[in-house]
Structures are given as structure tokens and as C-alpha cells.
Structure 1
Amino acid sequence: MTEYNNYIAKLIGKYLEDSLSAEEHIELTEWINASDNNRHLFTEMTDKQQLTTHLQRIYAYDSDRIAQKISAKIPAFGDPKIVELQPVSFLKKWGWAAAVAVLVLGGTYYYRVHTKEQPTNLATNQSPIMPGQQGAILTLADGRQVVLDTLSGGLIASQNGASIVLADGKLVYDPTSAGNAEVQYNIMTTPKGRQFELTLPDGTKVWLNAASTIRYPTAFTGKERKVTVSGEVYFEVIRDADKPFFVSIDNKAAIEVLGTSFNVNAYENEHSIQTTLVNGSVRVGVPIANQSKILNPGQQATIVNKQITVAEIKDLDKILAWKYGLFNFDGANLEEVMRQLERWYNIEVVYENGIPNTRFIGEMSRQIPLTDLLDILKKTEVDFRVEGRKLIVLNK
């Protein structure tokens, strides 16, 4: 668990220096809330007075050995002689992040000498990896980021006159007071382990699956409504024949809409871009290849290597399962299943001894702990081992 310990130590250090990114803030919060032990440890390691005292004791005992250990683990800290400085000088030069790393990496040695207790392992008695939940990061026009998970509701911000309100766990834009100033753009991002619902300024409803992004104006003031997406997003577009709705997928594909419901799957680590139409009508195109296809309800456009193919979809429920809190693994191979788990449980998947040739059928709830889901998958020719937030797939 050393690698995971080091990563949590890094997050705690960045917390002390107030330099956590929005995504890191979410990860650290999840770790803190995973167990009482984690909460207690976090409280201790963020008490700067205690941190300084621990450093003084470590340096007083055996600075050379601690220095060698830290230097070997974290070369970026530079010359190991730095630990010969007094703790106050150390903190001025290297900061709280380095101090936390000193305690984690040198802590085993320190605790064995000075106490009868075993050193605390940040990953000891690992709590179950819980499923994803509602949450997202909102990036405002000026670059400020708001972690929506941490807010209870109410007015979030005003952008170019439009009010942004969080209500019932959903973000809604009210453009009634929007002026004629330059158009401003917001970005909503769902990290791994999060999904969220958004209502755009025109009333269009948007659902973001995990690890997805949408960029949109705070008011649709022109003759068109344009948004850009990545990952997986479901739309229910408000019809407006005088102001068509366009979805751009990282300049790789474009969708023209009048009023309709459809799903877009455009993850970078998937082999294709898929647009599935539930009702209404859309035109899916590849601008760089000057190609386009019109879809009817129940059809799916797949883009691979700038080529579009259209097929009938017999089971729309499979495509939309994520929106209704389900995994649908019908016909999926192991890699496809693991990519879904990576995004929803915020884990890294590693294959040991190759990738088993296994396919799955059936639906499962997305609201169960990872261990419960793995117990079901183990009934196939696959086994698993969990280390921190790393899932190791074993070929039986």
C-alpha cells in the first residue's frame, strides 16, 4: 500500500498548502469519510503544531537515516542533507507537503523507536470502495471552480446576468436577467465516481455520466445553441425551430438537433463515438470528412476513423442504463466492463497475466460497493485483488 499512502500524504500536504485541485479535493474528502481511523489521522496530520513537533523528534533521533529513506522515495526533494536543517527552516524551504511526506515515509522508523504502537498505515483496514454519487465541478467564466458536492443549495453565482442555482441536487440556469454583454462560458465536469444533472439556459436538460464534460454559454443569445461535450452525456433538448441546437464532440463529430432526446458516448478510451437517438431527429456529422447521417428514433450512429455507420438498436435500455442507476453488461467483454468500473468507482484497473477472454450478460445496480460487484463477476473465469484504489484483474 506504500504507493497509495504516498498519494494520500501528497493530498494532505496540498490541503495544508491550500493548493488542492477540485478533483483532488473530492478524492481527499472520500478518503477522510471512508473510516473513523482516516478522519482521526487526517486531524492529526493537519495540526501544524503537532506536525512540527513530530518533525523535531524525527530529526533529533536519526536525521541521516531518515534523509536517506526520504531521498530514495522522493528524489524531487533533492539533496538528503536538507533534513539536517531545523524543522522551521525545512518548512520554509519545502512546505507542509514535504513535511507530511517525511512523516509518512520516515514514520515507520520513528514510531518503532519512540512508541510501542505500530505505525499507522494510511491504507490499513481498507474500507470498501463505494459506488459513485451525485456531484460535479463547475468552472466559471473567470476560471474559479466550485465543487458542487460540498454545497447544500441556493444561488451559486451570477454570470453575465444569468443566475446559477443549485436546487434538489441539480444545477439550473435562469437567464431572465441576462444582458447583451459578451457571451460567457461555463464548464461542468464530472470526475470519476460522479454524475450530475444540469438544466441549460434554454431549459434543455443534460445528464452527465462519470468522467464527462460539457461547455456551454450562460445564455443562448445568437441564432444557434452550441455546446461541446466529452465522455457520456444524455440530452433532452427543448425544441426551437428558429434556433437549432448543436453538439460538438472535440471537433471529431457534430450533432444538429431541433428538439429531441439522445445519448452521446464519446470517451477518449473507447474505440468509437456513438450517438443514440431516443426520439425526435438528429443529424450526426464528421465535419473534417464532410460526412453526415440523419438518425431516426431507435438508431445509433457510430463513428470510427472518421467514418459513420448507422444501425438499429433493439435495446435502448442498455444504452441508457447508466442514467437509471444500472450497469448493463449484455454482450460486453471484460475490458469494456472494467472501463465502466474505472469511471464509476474512481479506480485504476491493471491486468495481471493478460486479459481474460470473457463476456458478460445481465444488469447490476450501480449503487453497490465495488467488492459486492466483484463477488458476482468472480463467478466467471476471472478473479480480482484490490490494493488501495487499484483493481488488479487476475486470469484464473
Structure 2
Amino acid sequence: MKKLLLLSLLGLVFITACGKKQAIDPNTPADIEQAKKEGKYVTYGQPDDWANWKGVFEKFNSIFGNTRVDTDMSSAEEITKFKAEANNPQADSAEIGMVWGKIAVTEGVTLPYKNANWDKIPDWAKDKDGNFTGLYVGVPVILVNKDLVKNIPTSWEDLKKPEYKNSIVIADPRSSGSGVNMVLAVAYALGGDVKNLDPAFKYFAELQKLGNIKNIKGSTANIQKGEVPITIQYDFLALGNKRKLANEVNLEIVFPKEGSIYAPGALILNKYAPHPNLAKAFADFVTSDEGQLEFAKGGAMPVRAVAGNLIIPEEIKKQMLPDSFYKKVGKPQSWSEITPDVIADRWEKEVVSQ
């Protein structure tokens, strides 16, 4: 499962040789014939079991005749690797949480390529210069093991109840992008936004003080073992767990009545991608109708569907949570103003210390 590294990684000194490989021209489209000759595509942080990257690459590879190798890692690690490998680039692309977009640009590792479907990507889900592009959104929701929880919570507020003591498993925003977006979701739901996270930190500090937070990972394995009564996960992960464990665990997915957010997963291309035409072709593909629908097959809402310029066929929609499930979902507009290190610091001081 894709996670962010502790933010201290960004304090590392990046050591590179004096000369750098020449950057790719971002203003020319992919040469399709050359792309088919490049043969191998290398990715960081795009594992098969996350948002249906497996299906995405099966389709892409069948078109271009290439192979693909992925190394799963955090957004911070991906940015670090791109920069450290500038003279001997290994990977062509990576997926990062949108909160890391500004950092990737600042570190100078991205190719500012505006893909073939650029105008169809909403402004809130892309960098204006093309350095990163949102592909799909995850919505933080509540996943409940009904075999362990008698009364199903329906809201963020419900999670404060004494009956949920040592029952709520959450991702740590000091080390997890899912955790960062969980904080943002609660902030929006309780009247805050990217510039006012106080409602979220007050909320989680109270949960911690009440003893309702259980210190364990909300992994599929732990859910399967019955060690996770309640957890906060992206909707597509919750749906995936419910399907995988259908014959073993009685799970229910709850959309908190106060609301949640759309949290985009974004694509970055390596400024020095070793397979530049495949990289550009890939950016074009994952934003096309065909590529976007592969994410939908994994239960993740494509960014273009959120924007209203992609229709998801009914046979695919049946594999997703129904539209009626998403009652109040916010769209953070200012991702560049969200600083993961500040969130990590506040979590340490205001939540962990309780």
C-alpha cells in the first residue's frame, strides 16, 4: 500500500554529480514509433494493487508492446530518487499525493509536460505548467467491521463515543499521505479548509485523549485477522477490502454525514526519463477516456469524471460505490498551500502528546 515517508526525508542533502543529463523537451508530443521501440517502462510508487494500476498497465503495455517494472515507495522517496538519479535516471514516472506536487516542482525533478488531454483536467487537480497531473480521487471514508462493532457509526462525531474506545485505526499523517488527506477531510467536514486545519487537530486530539485510537495499521491483513474494528480509508481501498474479504469479514463502508474530500493521486514524469516517448505517451494514455476508466474499474473516481467530461459506463459504475453514497464532498482548491511538514509537526505536538 502506497504511503508517504516521514517528512524528515525532505531534509536530506541530495548528492549528485556536477554534470546532469540533458532534460527532455516538454513541448513536443510523444513520438509513437519511438515509444514502441523504447520497450521498457519503469515506475516508482505505482503498485498493481492501488487504484487498479495493474489494469492501467495491462492496457498500456498491450498498445505499446512494452514491459513495466515498478518499485513501490513513498512520495518523498520518489522525489528523492528522481533527484539523486539525475545523472543515471532509472524511472520514467511516479504517482505522488497532490500535497507533494509543490515539493516535486521545487526540487526540480519533474517534466512540465501538458498531456494530450490537458484541457479536460480541472484546474484544482493539476499544476498550471504541467509538472503534475491529477488522475483520480480518493475519498476518506469509514470502514467498519460489523462482526466487532455493534452500533455502526454514521459520522465523524460518532467516533468520539465511549463504545469505540481503542477501536479506531487511522493512518499517521507524519508518515502517510492517506493520513494527511484524512486530516484535510475532517477539517473540511468540520468547517475548516486547507488554510484552517484547527478543527481537524482539535478533533483528533480529542479522539486521542479519549483513548479511541488504536495503534495498529489498517492493512488488509490486520482487517482479515479481526484486529481492526473501525478504520479510515480511501473509498476505493475500502471497497477493495470489502470485496477481497467478503467471505471472511462482515464489512460496511460509511460516508460520514458531515462530509469528506476529493484527494487526487497525481502523475509526475521524470525530468530525465530514460524512456521519454513512452513517458509522454503514458501521460496521454492515463488521462484519456480509456485510461481514466481503468481507475474506475478499481473503484477510484477518475478526475475527469469529477470534472464532468467523462461518462462512466453503467457496467463499470456497478463496480463502484453509488453516486448516492457521496453526500457532501469538498474539492480542495489550493493544494500548493498544504505543507506536509507543518501537518506532521502539528500532529506530533497537538495529537500524539495527548
Tell me the TM-score normalized by structure 2: 0.23
- RCO (CA 8 Å, sep 6+): is it higher in 1 or 2? 2
Tell me the TM-score normalized by structure 1: 0.21
Decide which structure has the larger Cα Rg and report it. 1
Structure in which a larger fraction of residues adopt helix: 2
